[in-house]
Structure 1
């Protein structure tokens, strides 16, 4: 049985291309004592992975050239010599981009197969959902009637942020990169306003018009000119959750823009950067809350799913072309459900 992996062939300069990825095929491993053999079902591709393609210090180590890339994966145990994970168990974990992985169980989490679609444990009930939950509720703390702005609102994190803000009584404004996404945010998810930043003649005026009472909370996934526009609208004691800066991930030079410090000082605002792993000890709380709201019909979750292990690099590159609505996933295999 063959096992194909995707390795980092070289470090990109600017926007990555297909040349940065190399497929390597070898014989599939077998589970030894205390191990499980995992068949990959779903692979998550996420914007933060772009930073790991660079060399240098960050909050996670960089990918190594010539070695398999890794990230969130839902998998099925197909061989087991580990009493905690019998054959047929569905798991989620941080695994390499391979069709099959061997694990000693560390870092794996068994997931129920009947609570929600298995793919949701890479989305609504995984890293993106938890990022939205903790960033919005722990940092932004929206109050009824306040205005919440979400950049990258049609992405995996942003869609959940907006819905959670609405659940807490806030008025929600989102930015997205297509008219279709704007319609989705307003008509399907209940955003009060949504702006296509690619076609707005003046993004600063567009955001100001959408926020006549100013901005109380800003959940920032994007940075750049959108954030510059929001800073001028901050109300007294506004809160900013700094989650991502996708607008600059492929920059070859450090972007220079308006510095936010004066605006933060004038409004006595809080800006806090965070990584979802900061809240790892509280993950069960977040997953339970998100699952409850989902089962109650209060949270929707959109996925963009492409099929085929060979499609992983293109799905990843598509993130930076704005091709996904909600969570971008690659479906590699179907869950067999055999135990």
Structure 2
């Protein structure tokens, strides 16, 4: 027994040393390497140099290069509408227009959807989704490429992407055609956090939000997404704290929330928590002695029982819900019945 005790002591010391080392490595990885974990812009391999273009999918578009206030060049895709789109593209839904109006006037009469993508891949991988919005709903579309993604310059970070999204919005609001259109923010996963942040900082400029499988905040997501690093979630300096920003978005701003019940990356509890925050932002009014909320009727939550993190957008009913939501904003669109097969 006496010979065994030193062995136990040695084992205990070794275990403590290993735990201390792993803790130090874990903390260092989260603190210094979190940008690589959160923004894997080079995955799938080739995503930084191989960027599909809308023309690959038969969509007319414009390359849009925007220089941010801190000097970063971000390369986006702009898909402006035109009256005769259905003549050249049979899949495009025909919408009423005045023969006397110009294409610029037609652009100004249609909603503009700004797409903020998830943290993997590049904007080109989301073109099948943009095609539905552009062809079937006849919206103008601006696909944002964050810094450090696709062919955009720089390295991604929360502060940097906030600057990128603001630069995109400033472009639209300064353009003589797009500044007349209702601006709808469509964000998937971390793109939803980008949309919430942008709307919270520009409450009077955003017409509506469409949010899919996004989270309350990144620190609260770490224990689920990276269980081994859960104890160090307090070191996560990339916050994207959407839960604390929802109340800054006016109760009258329509919000559509789309959640995949089988999301294995962002637990559906995050979307439900955000929905509760959306419900609380309603303005309380009293009529006939009864208290009610104004604004909540313009928000909607939908859960798709078979939807995972990357395939909620191909679930039955997803695109009709988006089309109905856009139509409810005052612009008629035709529901899309088929599903795309995007690389998300």
TM score, norm. by length of structure 1: 0.25
TM score, norm. by length of structure 2: 0.25
Structure whose residues are more often helix by fraction: 2
- Specify which structure has the bigger relative contact order, considering alpha-carbon pairs within 8 angstroms and separated by 6 or more residues: 1
Q: Which entry has the higher C-alpha Rg, 1 or 2? A: 2
